[in-house]
Amino acid sequence: MAVEEPKYAVVVTAGPFEIRDYPATVVAEVEVSGDREGASRAGFRILAGYIFGENVGHKRVPMTAPVGQTGPGEKIAMTAPVSLSANGGNWLVQFTMPSAYSLGDLPTPKDPRVHLRSVPPARVAVTRFSGLTREPAVSRHTGELRDFIRDRGLTPTGTPMLARYDPPWTPWFMRRNEVLIGISGET
């Protein structure tokens, strides 16, 4: 079953890196605590409840991909359909809503922890990798992306976000993951 992914325009491709322009999106998000994996699971369950009908009107909202995650104390620069980022020791987990929905079209969440908001258009630097998203791999790819941004004379405008595209039953070697960092400057 295919799920919608955010549309974007590739501005630059350089080896494993891309610079992309994303349009404005709408996200559903929840703040949770714990380690990366535990927070990701907890946030996912809460947001899945929202899109599967735990909202005013019991309306289902189609699932999208990816799931994103940012580390504790970091601010989110941009999001993809499901994202996890940390904020002051807590993680912010986000689902990007399908492009057919505006903020006003979405049902109101019943769970007060779920918040809906608009995210403005963003230019981001991205690196893609496969496999598991354990901390050493995420840190290595994030460091390489930061080096790419610095070497191109760009300025990070946000903190890294880990985006996971595949469900947990996908074999580890087939999983598609990305690290994204908002940027500014001439590309």
In the chain, where the domains are located: 9-184
Q: Tell me the backbone φ, ψ of residue 158, rounded to 5 degrees.
A: -155, -175
Q: How confident is the model at residue 168 (pLDDT cuts 50, 70, 90)?
A: confident
3-class DSSP assignment, residue 9: strand
pLDDT surpasses 70 at 17: yes
Round the average pLDDT of the chain to a whole number and report it. 88
* Strand 122-130 with 90-96, pairing: unpaired
pLDDT at 147: 97
CATH H-level superfamily of 9-184 = Regulatory factor, effector binding domain (3.20.80.10)
Q: How confident is the model at residue 72 (pLDDT cuts 50, 70, 90)?
A: low
As a whole number of angstroms, the distance between CA 160 and CA 76 comes to 7
Q: How confident is the model at residue 2 (pLDDT cuts 50, 70, 90)?
A: confident
pTM of the predicted protein model: 0.86
pLDDT at 57: 94
* Contact between residue 91 and residue 84 where contact means Cβ atoms under 8 Å apart: yes
